[in-house]
Amino acid sequence: MYESQDIANRIKTHAKSKGIRLKQMLSDCKLGINTISQMSKGNDMLSKNLAKIADYLDCSVDYLLGRTDNPEVNR
């Protein structure tokens, strides 16, 4: 099972490494401003929203889920 808190931490860490502000990312993805903080509290995210974030961060959903440590997207 995937922990929402772990996914939120991966999103935050990867966004920071790319110089992306969470507020801007969430706005661009048309997601609520509290999306990441809600995940940090244990709330789940819809898979379509996780895919939006992965696309925005140019990484794989598998990376955000913690299935791999390689953020590269297979194209």
Write the single-letter amino acid at 4.
S
- 68 touches 59 (CB < 8 A): no
Residues with Cβ < 8 Å from 24, sequence gap 6 or more? none
Q: How high is the pLDDT of residue 75?
A: 57
**13-45 tens-digit pLDDT:** 999 999 999 999 999 999 999 999 999 999 999
CB distance 65 to 7 below 8 Å: yes
Report in angstroms the alpha-carbon separations of 25 from 1, 8, 46, 62. Answer: 26, 13, 16, 19
Model confidence at 2, pLDDT cuts 50, 70, 90, reads confident
Half-sphere exposure of 12 (CA within 13 A, CB side): 13
pTM, entire model: 0.91
